Protein backbone atom coordinates (compact mmCIF):
# COMPACT_ATOMS: atom_id res chain seq x y z
CA UNK A 1 0.00 0.00 0.00
CA UNK A 2 1.30 3.45 -0.88
CA UNK A 3 3.00 5.02 2.12
CA UNK A 4 3.03 1.79 4.13
CA UNK A 5 5.70 -0.35 2.42
CA UNK A 6 8.25 0.52 5.11
CA UNK A 7 5.75 0.49 8.00
CA UNK A 8 7.70 -1.96 10.21
CA UNK A 9 11.20 -0.88 9.13
CA UNK A 10 13.37 0.98 11.60
CA UNK A 11 12.57 4.70 11.24
CA UNK A 12 15.19 7.26 10.28
CA UNK A 13 15.59 10.49 12.25
CA UNK A 14 13.48 12.49 9.79
CA UNK A 15 10.65 9.96 10.27
CA UNK A 16 10.77 10.51 14.00
CA UNK A 17 10.76 14.30 13.71
CA UNK A 18 7.85 14.17 11.23
CA UNK A 19 5.83 12.34 13.88
CA UNK A 20 6.42 14.94 16.60
CA UNK A 21 3.40 17.19 16.31
CA UNK A 22 1.17 18.36 19.16
CA UNK A 23 2.76 15.74 21.42
CA UNK A 24 6.20 14.60 22.44
CA UNK A 25 7.35 11.13 21.45
CA UNK A 26 8.69 9.01 24.29
CA UNK A 27 10.65 5.88 23.49
CA UNK A 28 10.82 3.41 26.38
CA UNK A 29 13.58 0.80 26.36
CA UNK A 30 15.11 -1.61 28.85
CA UNK A 31 18.65 -2.99 29.08
CA UNK A 32 20.53 -5.11 31.57
CA UNK A 33 22.09 -1.94 32.99
CA UNK A 34 18.79 -0.07 33.35
CA UNK A 35 15.97 1.56 31.42
CA UNK A 36 15.86 4.68 29.29
CA UNK A 37 13.12 7.06 28.21
CA UNK A 38 14.02 9.25 25.22
CA UNK A 39 11.75 12.29 24.96
CA UNK A 40 11.65 13.79 21.47
CA UNK A 41 10.22 17.31 21.13
CA UNK A 42 9.18 19.15 17.96
CA UNK A 43 12.12 21.57 18.21
CA UNK A 44 14.59 18.69 17.58
CA UNK A 45 15.38 18.56 21.30
CA UNK A 46 15.93 15.05 22.69
CA UNK A 47 15.92 14.58 26.45
CA UNK A 48 17.09 11.29 28.00
CA UNK A 49 15.56 10.15 31.28
CA UNK A 50 17.47 7.33 32.93
CA UNK A 51 15.43 4.65 34.66
CA UNK A 52 18.01 2.76 36.73
CA UNK A 53 15.57 0.36 38.42
CA UNK A 54 14.04 -0.82 35.13
CA UNK A 55 16.46 -3.60 34.17
CA UNK A 56 15.97 -6.71 32.06
CA UNK A 57 16.10 -8.77 35.24
CA UNK A 58 13.50 -6.62 37.02
CA UNK A 59 11.22 -6.74 33.96
CA UNK A 60 11.52 -10.52 33.76
CA UNK A 61 10.63 -10.77 37.46
CA UNK A 62 7.69 -8.39 37.04
CA UNK A 63 6.27 -10.39 34.14
CA UNK A 64 7.12 -14.00 34.90
CA UNK A 65 8.07 -14.52 38.56
CA UNK A 66 7.03 -17.94 39.87
CA UNK A 67 7.60 -17.06 43.52
CA UNK A 68 4.28 -16.83 45.45
CA UNK A 69 2.93 -14.47 46.64
CA UNK A 70 5.01 -12.43 44.19
CA UNK A 71 3.66 -14.20 41.10
CA UNK A 72 4.49 -12.32 37.90
CA UNK A 73 2.06 -10.13 35.97
CA UNK A 74 1.77 -12.45 32.97
CA UNK A 75 1.87 -15.62 35.04
CA UNK A 76 -0.95 -14.41 37.32
CA UNK A 77 -2.98 -13.34 34.29
CA UNK A 78 -2.72 -16.66 32.50
CA UNK A 79 -3.34 -18.58 35.74
CA UNK A 80 -6.65 -16.71 35.95
CA UNK A 81 -7.51 -17.47 32.32
CA UNK A 82 -6.91 -21.17 32.95
CA UNK A 83 -9.17 -21.07 36.03
CA UNK A 84 -11.79 -18.40 35.15
CA UNK A 85 -14.39 -19.68 37.60
CA UNK A 86 -12.09 -19.75 40.63
CA UNK A 87 -12.20 -16.45 42.48
CA UNK A 88 -8.79 -16.94 44.11
CA UNK A 89 -7.05 -16.77 40.74
CA UNK A 90 -8.99 -13.65 39.76
CA UNK A 91 -8.07 -11.98 43.03
CA UNK A 92 -4.43 -12.93 42.51
CA UNK A 93 -4.52 -11.26 39.09
CA UNK A 94 -6.20 -8.11 40.46
CA UNK A 95 -3.58 -7.89 43.21
CA UNK A 96 -0.76 -8.38 40.76
CA UNK A 97 -2.20 -5.73 38.42
CA UNK A 98 -2.32 -3.24 41.31
CA UNK A 99 1.25 -4.01 42.38
CA UNK A 100 2.60 -3.92 38.84
CA UNK A 101 1.04 -0.56 38.05
CA UNK A 102 2.40 0.85 41.33
CA UNK A 103 5.85 -0.42 40.34
CA UNK A 104 5.50 1.21 36.91
CA UNK A 105 5.11 4.59 38.61
CA UNK A 106 8.22 4.04 40.70
CA UNK A 107 10.37 2.65 37.90
CA UNK A 108 9.12 4.56 34.84
CA UNK A 109 6.23 7.01 34.92
CA UNK A 110 7.11 8.97 38.07
CA UNK A 111 10.55 10.01 36.72
CA UNK A 112 9.09 10.58 33.25
CA UNK A 113 6.28 12.83 34.50
CA UNK A 114 8.82 14.91 36.43
CA UNK A 115 10.80 15.44 33.21
CA UNK A 116 7.80 16.47 31.08
CA UNK A 117 5.79 19.71 31.08
CA UNK A 118 2.68 19.63 33.26
CA UNK A 119 -0.39 18.04 31.65
CA UNK A 120 1.63 17.20 28.56
CA UNK A 121 0.32 15.11 25.69
CA UNK A 122 2.72 12.27 24.88
CA UNK A 123 2.95 9.31 22.54
CA UNK A 124 4.61 6.34 24.19
CA UNK A 125 6.55 3.89 22.03
CA UNK A 126 7.45 0.99 24.36
CA UNK A 127 10.05 -1.35 22.90
CA UNK A 128 9.79 -5.13 23.12
CA UNK A 129 8.08 -6.66 26.13
CA UNK A 130 7.42 -3.23 27.65
CA UNK A 131 4.47 -3.02 25.23
CA UNK A 132 2.68 -5.61 27.38
CA UNK A 133 2.28 -3.12 30.24
CA UNK A 134 -0.35 -0.40 30.95
CA UNK A 135 1.86 2.62 31.63
CA UNK A 136 -1.16 4.96 31.69
CA UNK A 137 -2.37 3.10 34.82
CA UNK A 138 0.86 3.62 36.79
CA UNK A 139 0.00 5.12 40.18
CA UNK A 140 1.22 6.59 43.43
CA UNK A 141 -0.68 7.29 46.64
CA UNK A 142 -2.58 10.59 46.80
CA UNK A 143 -5.23 11.16 49.45
CA UNK A 144 -6.58 14.20 47.58
CA UNK A 145 -8.14 12.08 44.82
CA UNK A 146 -11.43 10.12 44.88
CA UNK A 147 -9.55 6.80 44.73
CA UNK A 148 -6.66 7.71 47.02
CA UNK A 149 -4.30 7.27 44.07
CA UNK A 150 -2.83 9.55 41.44
CA UNK A 151 -2.45 7.83 38.08
CA UNK A 152 -0.22 8.66 35.14
CA UNK A 153 -3.44 9.31 33.21
CA UNK A 154 -4.18 12.19 35.61
CA UNK A 155 -0.87 13.86 34.81
CA UNK A 156 -0.55 13.17 31.08
CA UNK A 157 -2.70 12.56 28.02
CA UNK A 158 -1.19 9.29 26.81
CA UNK A 159 -1.29 7.88 23.33
CA UNK A 160 0.62 4.78 22.16
CA UNK A 161 2.19 3.90 18.82
CA UNK A 162 4.17 0.91 17.52
CA UNK A 163 6.66 3.31 15.88
CA UNK A 164 7.02 6.90 14.67
CA UNK A 165 6.35 6.13 11.01
CA UNK A 166 2.93 4.64 11.78
CA UNK A 167 1.95 7.83 13.62
CA UNK A 168 2.89 10.02 10.66
CA UNK A 169 0.85 7.94 8.23
CA UNK A 170 -2.11 7.83 10.63
CA UNK A 171 -2.21 11.61 10.91
CA UNK A 172 -2.37 11.92 7.13
CA UNK A 173 -5.38 9.59 7.07
CA UNK A 174 -7.09 11.39 9.97
CA UNK A 175 -6.85 14.73 8.16
CA UNK A 176 -8.55 13.56 4.99
CA UNK A 177 -11.26 11.12 6.09
CA UNK A 178 -14.66 11.59 7.65
CA UNK A 179 -16.10 9.60 10.54
CA UNK A 180 -19.72 9.26 9.52
CA UNK A 181 -20.27 5.61 8.51
CA UNK A 182 -20.15 2.95 11.20
CA UNK A 183 -19.76 -0.79 10.83
CA UNK A 184 -20.56 -2.53 14.12
CA UNK A 185 -20.06 -6.17 15.05
CA UNK A 186 -22.43 -7.23 17.83
CA UNK A 187 -21.66 -10.49 19.67
CA UNK A 188 -20.94 -13.00 16.90
CA UNK A 189 -22.62 -16.37 17.52
CA UNK A 190 -22.00 -19.18 17.97
CA UNK A 191 -18.69 -18.68 19.79
CA UNK A 192 -17.50 -21.31 22.26
CA UNK A 193 -14.47 -22.10 24.40
CA UNK A 194 -12.32 -25.20 24.03
CA UNK A 195 -14.87 -27.14 26.11
CA UNK A 196 -17.68 -26.28 23.72
CA UNK A 197 -19.31 -23.89 26.22
CA UNK A 198 -21.04 -20.78 24.86
CA UNK A 199 -19.41 -17.45 25.70
CA UNK A 200 -22.19 -14.85 25.98
CA UNK A 201 -21.63 -11.08 26.01
CA UNK A 202 -24.78 -9.82 27.74
CA UNK A 203 -23.79 -6.14 27.56
CA UNK A 204 -22.88 -6.18 23.88
CA UNK A 205 -26.37 -5.34 22.59
CA UNK A 206 -26.80 -2.07 24.46
CA UNK A 207 -23.14 -1.13 23.93
CA UNK A 208 -23.59 -1.37 20.17
CA UNK A 209 -27.05 0.22 20.37
CA UNK A 210 -25.55 3.28 22.08
CA UNK A 211 -22.60 3.51 19.68
CA UNK A 212 -24.83 3.31 16.59
CA UNK A 213 -26.85 6.32 17.78
CA UNK A 214 -23.76 8.52 17.34
CA UNK A 215 -23.48 8.00 13.58
CA UNK A 216 -25.60 9.12 10.65
CA UNK A 217 -25.07 5.86 8.76
CA UNK A 218 -24.47 2.44 10.27
CA UNK A 219 -24.76 -1.26 9.68
CA UNK A 220 -24.73 -3.91 12.40
CA UNK A 221 -23.49 -7.44 11.80
CA UNK A 222 -25.13 -9.30 14.67
CA UNK A 223 -24.88 -12.86 15.97
CA UNK A 224 -24.89 -15.39 13.10
CA UNK A 225 -24.53 -12.63 10.48
CA UNK A 226 -21.13 -11.63 11.87
CA UNK A 227 -19.10 -14.12 9.87
CA UNK A 228 -15.45 -13.61 9.04
CA UNK A 229 -16.10 -13.31 5.32
CA UNK A 230 -19.02 -10.91 5.71
CA UNK A 231 -16.86 -8.59 7.79
CA UNK A 232 -13.88 -8.80 5.44
CA UNK A 233 -16.14 -8.01 2.47
CA UNK A 234 -17.52 -4.84 4.08
CA UNK A 235 -14.77 -3.24 6.20
CA UNK A 236 -13.47 -0.91 3.49
CA UNK A 237 -16.93 0.65 2.95
CA UNK A 238 -17.02 2.28 6.40
CA UNK A 239 -15.07 4.99 8.21
CA UNK A 240 -15.52 3.76 11.80
CA UNK A 241 -15.32 0.12 12.85
CA UNK A 242 -16.61 -1.13 16.20
CA UNK A 243 -16.08 -4.75 17.24
CA UNK A 244 -18.01 -5.96 20.30
CA UNK A 245 -16.90 -9.57 20.40
CA UNK A 246 -14.36 -11.98 21.83
CA UNK A 247 -10.67 -11.72 21.08
CA UNK A 248 -7.58 -13.80 21.64
CA UNK A 249 -3.88 -12.94 21.67
CA UNK A 250 -1.19 -15.36 20.53
CA UNK A 251 2.10 -14.29 22.10
CA UNK A 252 4.17 -16.87 20.23
CA UNK A 253 2.48 -16.42 16.83
CA UNK A 254 1.20 -12.84 16.87
CA UNK A 255 -0.01 -12.95 13.26
CA UNK A 256 -2.63 -15.41 14.54
CA UNK A 257 -3.97 -13.06 17.23
CA UNK A 258 -7.61 -12.59 16.33
CA UNK A 259 -11.08 -11.22 16.81
CA UNK A 260 -13.47 -14.17 17.00
CA UNK A 261 -16.34 -14.04 14.55
CA UNK A 262 -19.40 -16.34 14.27
CA UNK A 263 -18.72 -20.08 14.23
CA UNK A 264 -15.40 -19.46 16.03
CA UNK A 265 -13.87 -18.05 12.84
CA UNK A 266 -10.77 -15.96 13.60
CA UNK A 267 -10.28 -12.54 12.01
CA UNK A 268 -6.51 -12.36 12.39
CA UNK A 269 -3.69 -9.85 12.23
CA UNK A 270 -2.69 -11.47 8.94
CA UNK A 271 -6.19 -10.85 7.55
CA UNK A 272 -5.88 -7.14 8.31
CA UNK A 273 -2.42 -6.96 6.76
CA UNK A 274 -3.96 -8.11 3.46
CA UNK A 275 -6.55 -5.29 3.44
CA UNK A 276 -6.60 -1.66 2.31
CA UNK A 277 -8.45 0.38 4.94
CA UNK A 278 -6.98 3.84 4.37
CA UNK A 279 -10.43 5.42 4.59
CA UNK A 280 -11.02 4.29 8.19
CA UNK A 281 -10.70 6.92 10.94
CA UNK A 282 -11.17 4.62 13.96
CA UNK A 283 -11.30 0.94 14.79
CA UNK A 284 -12.44 0.09 18.30
CA UNK A 285 -11.68 -3.45 19.41
CA UNK A 286 -14.07 -3.79 22.34
CA UNK A 287 -12.92 -7.30 23.14
CA UNK A 288 -10.39 -9.17 25.24
CA UNK A 289 -6.63 -9.03 24.64
CA UNK A 290 -6.86 -7.06 21.40
CA UNK A 291 -3.77 -4.96 22.13
CA UNK A 292 -1.41 -7.62 23.50
CA UNK A 293 1.74 -7.80 21.35
CA UNK A 294 3.51 -10.99 20.35
CA UNK A 295 6.93 -11.94 21.67
CA UNK A 296 8.22 -13.30 18.36
CA UNK A 297 10.05 -10.10 17.35
CA UNK A 298 11.83 -8.55 20.36
CA UNK A 299 11.95 -4.98 19.00
CA UNK A 300 8.71 -4.68 17.03
CA UNK A 301 5.08 -4.63 18.12
CA UNK A 302 3.02 -7.16 16.16
CA UNK A 303 -0.63 -7.26 17.22
CA UNK A 304 -4.12 -6.44 15.99
CA UNK A 305 -3.69 -2.64 16.26
CA UNK A 306 -0.41 -2.78 14.32
CA UNK A 307 -2.14 -4.84 11.61
CA UNK A 308 -4.97 -2.32 11.37
CA UNK A 309 -2.58 0.63 11.27
CA UNK A 310 -0.59 -0.98 8.49
CA UNK A 311 -3.84 -1.59 6.61
CA UNK A 312 -4.39 2.17 6.74
CA UNK A 313 -6.57 2.82 9.82
CA UNK A 314 -5.79 6.14 11.53
CA UNK A 315 -6.54 5.22 15.15
CA UNK A 316 -7.27 2.12 17.21
CA UNK A 317 -8.64 1.46 20.69
CA UNK A 318 -7.58 -1.95 22.02
CA UNK A 319 -7.20 -3.89 25.27
CA UNK A 320 -4.33 -5.48 27.20
CA UNK A 321 -6.33 -8.10 29.11
CA UNK A 322 -9.60 -10.00 29.33
CA UNK A 323 -12.09 -7.27 30.12
CA UNK A 324 -15.29 -6.97 32.16
CA UNK A 325 -18.32 -7.01 29.86
CA UNK A 326 -20.39 -4.52 31.87
CA UNK A 327 -17.72 -1.94 32.66
CA UNK A 328 -16.46 -2.07 29.07
CA UNK A 329 -19.92 -1.30 27.74
CA UNK A 330 -20.15 1.77 29.99
CA UNK A 331 -16.64 2.88 29.02
CA UNK A 332 -17.47 2.61 25.33
CA UNK A 333 -20.69 4.60 25.60
CA UNK A 334 -18.80 7.42 27.33
CA UNK A 335 -15.87 7.24 24.90
CA UNK A 336 -18.06 7.54 21.80
CA UNK A 337 -20.07 10.37 23.34
CA UNK A 338 -16.82 12.21 24.04
CA UNK A 339 -14.94 11.47 20.81
CA UNK A 340 -17.85 12.34 18.50
CA UNK A 341 -18.33 15.63 20.38
CA UNK A 342 -14.59 16.31 20.02
CA UNK A 343 -14.70 15.64 16.28
CA UNK A 344 -17.72 17.91 15.85
CA UNK A 345 -15.82 20.73 17.55
CA UNK A 346 -12.30 20.20 16.19
CA UNK A 347 -12.63 17.97 13.12
CA UNK A 348 -11.83 14.29 12.73
CA UNK A 349 -8.10 14.99 12.75
CA UNK A 350 -8.37 15.47 16.54
CA UNK A 351 -6.66 12.66 18.44
CA UNK A 352 -8.76 9.96 20.10
CA UNK A 353 -6.49 9.91 23.17
CA UNK A 354 -8.15 12.78 25.14
CA UNK A 355 -11.58 11.18 24.63
CA UNK A 356 -10.44 7.81 25.94
CA UNK A 357 -8.61 9.50 28.82
CA UNK A 358 -11.78 11.37 29.82
CA UNK A 359 -13.90 8.21 29.60
CA UNK A 360 -11.46 6.18 31.68
CA UNK A 361 -11.13 8.82 34.40
CA UNK A 362 -14.93 9.14 34.51
CA UNK A 363 -15.49 5.39 34.85
CA UNK A 364 -12.78 5.12 37.50
CA UNK A 365 -14.08 7.96 39.68
CA UNK A 366 -17.85 7.68 39.14
CA UNK A 367 -20.11 6.79 42.07
CA UNK A 368 -23.02 4.38 41.81
CA UNK A 369 -25.43 7.32 41.68
CA UNK A 370 -23.47 8.99 38.88
CA UNK A 371 -23.26 5.77 36.90
CA UNK A 372 -26.97 5.12 37.22
CA UNK A 373 -27.70 8.68 36.08
CA UNK A 374 -25.58 8.05 32.99
CA UNK A 375 -27.33 4.74 32.29
CA UNK A 376 -30.70 6.50 32.54
CA UNK A 377 -29.63 8.87 29.73
CA UNK A 378 -28.66 6.10 27.31
CA UNK A 379 -32.07 5.22 25.95
CA UNK A 380 -31.94 1.67 27.26
CA UNK A 381 -35.03 -0.41 27.93
CA UNK A 382 -36.54 -0.35 31.43
CA UNK A 383 -35.32 -3.92 31.92
CA UNK A 384 -31.75 -2.98 31.00
CA UNK A 385 -31.79 0.00 33.34
CA UNK A 386 -33.11 -2.20 36.14
CA UNK A 387 -30.30 -4.71 35.57
CA UNK A 388 -27.79 -1.94 36.17
CA UNK A 389 -29.66 -0.75 39.26
CA UNK A 390 -29.57 -4.24 40.78
CA UNK A 391 -25.89 -4.63 39.86
CA UNK A 392 -24.88 -1.28 41.37
CA UNK A 393 -26.73 -2.14 44.59
CA UNK A 394 -24.26 -4.98 45.21
CA UNK A 395 -21.13 -2.97 44.39
CA UNK A 396 -18.94 -0.55 46.40
CA UNK A 397 -19.51 3.19 46.17
CA UNK A 398 -17.12 3.53 43.22
CA UNK A 399 -17.77 0.23 41.45
CA UNK A 400 -15.08 0.49 38.78
CA UNK A 401 -12.23 2.25 40.58
CA UNK A 402 -9.80 -0.68 40.18
CA UNK A 403 -7.55 -0.53 37.07
CA UNK A 404 -8.93 -3.91 35.97
CA UNK A 405 -12.18 -2.19 34.96
CA UNK A 406 -11.02 1.05 33.34
CA UNK A 407 -7.36 0.68 32.34
CA UNK A 408 -7.39 -2.27 29.92
CA UNK A 409 -7.89 -0.07 26.86
CA UNK A 410 -5.40 2.27 25.27
CA UNK A 411 -5.50 4.77 22.42
CA UNK A 412 -3.12 3.82 19.63
CA UNK A 413 -1.83 6.19 16.95
CA UNK A 414 -4.12 9.10 16.01
Is it the case that residue 85 has pLDDT exceeding 60?
A: yes
CATH 3.40.50.360: which residues of the chain? 174-413
In angstroms, the CA 341 to CA 362 distance is 16
Give the distance from CA 392 to its chain's centroid: 25
CA geometry: angle at 318 spanning 383 and 261, to 5°? 65
Question: How far is it between the farthest Cα atoms of the chain?
Answer: 59
pLDDT in tens, 292-314: 887 654 455 789 999 999 999 99
Q: Which CATH number fits domain 174-413: 1.10.8.50, 3.40.50.1370, 3.30.70.20, 3.40.50.360?
A: 3.40.50.360
Classified by CATH at the fold level, domain 13-166 comes out as Nucleotidyltransferase; domain 5 (3.30.420)
CATH 3.30.420: which residues of the chain? 13-166
Which residues lie across from 366 on neighbouring strands?
none
In angstroms, the CA 363 to CA 136 distance is 15
Q: Kindly give, in sequence order, each residue whose CB lies less than 8 Å from that of residue 74, ignoring residues fewer than 6 positions away.
A: 63, 64, 132
Which pLDDT does position 251 carry in this prediction? Answer: 86
Which is higher by pLDDT, 169 or 244?
A: 244
In angstroms, the CA 366 to CA 200 distance is 26
In angstroms, the CA 111 to CA 145 distance is 20
Which is higher by pLDDT, 169 or 345?
A: 345
pLDDT in tens, 341-380: 999 999 999 999 999 999 999 999 999 999 999 999 998 8
Contact 136, 152 (CB under 8 A): yes
In angstroms, the CA 234 to CA 237 distance is 6
Tally of CB atoms within 10 A around 269: 26
Query: What percentage of the chain exceeds 90 in pLDDT?
Result: 80
In angstroms, the CA 202 to CA 186 distance is 11
Amino acid sequence: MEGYADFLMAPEFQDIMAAVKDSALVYLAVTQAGGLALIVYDNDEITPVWLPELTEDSLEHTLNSMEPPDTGYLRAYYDWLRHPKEDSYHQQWLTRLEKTTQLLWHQVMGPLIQALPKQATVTLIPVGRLALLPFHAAWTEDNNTPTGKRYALDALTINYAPNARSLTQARKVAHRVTADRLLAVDEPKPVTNDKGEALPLPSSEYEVQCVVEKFAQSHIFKHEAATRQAILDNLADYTVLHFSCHGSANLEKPLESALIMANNEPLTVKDFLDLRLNGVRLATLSACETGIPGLELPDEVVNLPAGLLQAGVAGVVASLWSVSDRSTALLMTKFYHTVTTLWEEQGTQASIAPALQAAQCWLRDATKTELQAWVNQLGLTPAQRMQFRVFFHTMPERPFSAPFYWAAFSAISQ
